[in-house]
Amino acid sequence: MSADRDYLYLFNHIPKTAGTAFKKSLLRNVGEERFLDIIHPDKAKIDETLAVTNTRDLTWICANFHNKQIESLRNTDGRALRIVTMLRHPVQRGMSLYRFVRNKKSHALYGRISKMDLLEFARDDALDRQLSEYYTRRFGGGSFDDAVALLNRDKLVVGVTEEMSSTMRVIARVTGFSDLDVPHANVSKQFSEFNVDEDRVAEATRILAEKNPLDIRLYDHFRDVLLETGV
């Protein structure tokens, strides 16, 4: 990538969107000395790390950012921002979260869902913070138009997990990176290993889709944009 110190690049890592694999490819191109990966789901921990970091020494910062953190970086770093965000189809993201948590005893949700099958997981309204309109609430406060506007505001690329080849082509083109692999998502155990009934999986799929009409619309919008620009 050409050295452009007028920009601070952020990868806003939404969990279960193949971001972990993407970051490995990104790191090879950026170099450790210009790259910071804040691996923590807790907003306060991200704040603490940013508070003691001289961001001017960095080119890329990766974290599950909240919007206030992005605005703070805009003000304290002084450079213009360019942001990469990955979206995954909301139904597939929900299923991936289920598989991931069922295999990670240290996860905060493990105790709640470790005995659930996928349908029970999809039906659990207490999990709606993760499973219902996650993107639209996160980026637009529940508004589709506001979410599109925010994602477009400082956009470098809005990538799509299911269209990773196109995503990486666009990122390579706009950054000049020459060594970008097409990453695979974290591979969790498949449903067959959880002894899942196919009819219950089908019903869970329907429920997850029903919970995410705006997120599916948002995903489809940015997938269309990506495919138009990524050829």
Tens digits of pLDDT across the chain (231 residues): 444 458 999 999 998 998 888 898 888 899 999 999 998 778 889 999 999 999 999 999 999 998 889 999 999 999 999 999 999 999 999 999 999 999 888 888 899 998 899 999 999 999 999 999 999 999 999 999 999 999 999 999 999 999 998 999 999 998 888 778 766 544 444 555 455 688 999 999 999 999 999 999 999 999 999 999 865
Distance of CA 82 to the CA centre of its chain: 15
Q: What pLDDT, on a 0 to 100 scale, did the predictor assign at position 187?
A: 43
Residues near 103 by Cβ (< 8 Å), separated by ≥ 6?
A: 188, 189
Tokens 């990469």, located at residue: 84
User: Which of 168, 158, 164, 166 lies closest to 184, judged by CA?
Assistant: 164
Which SS3 state, helix, strand or coil, does residue 31 take? coil
What letter would DSSP give residue 106?
T
Q: What pLDDT, on a 0 to 100 scale, did the predictor assign at position 220?
A: 98
Q: What pLDDT, on a 0 to 100 scale, did the predictor assign at position 180?
A: 81
Residues 154 and 82: beta-carbon distance below 8 Å: yes
Give phi and psi for 108, each to the nearest 5: -60, -25
Q: What pLDDT, on a 0 to 100 scale, did the predictor assign at position 74?
A: 92
What letter would DSSP give residue 59?
S
User: Which of 185, 156, 183 lies closest to 170, judged by CA?
Assistant: 156
Q: What pLDDT, on a 0 to 100 scale, did the predictor assign at position 25?
A: 87
173-176, long-range: CB within 8 Å, 24+ apart, which pairs?
175/1, 175/29, 176/1, 176/2
Q: What pLDDT, on a 0 to 100 scale, did the predictor assign at position 189?
A: 46
The two tokens of residue 146 are: 């506001």
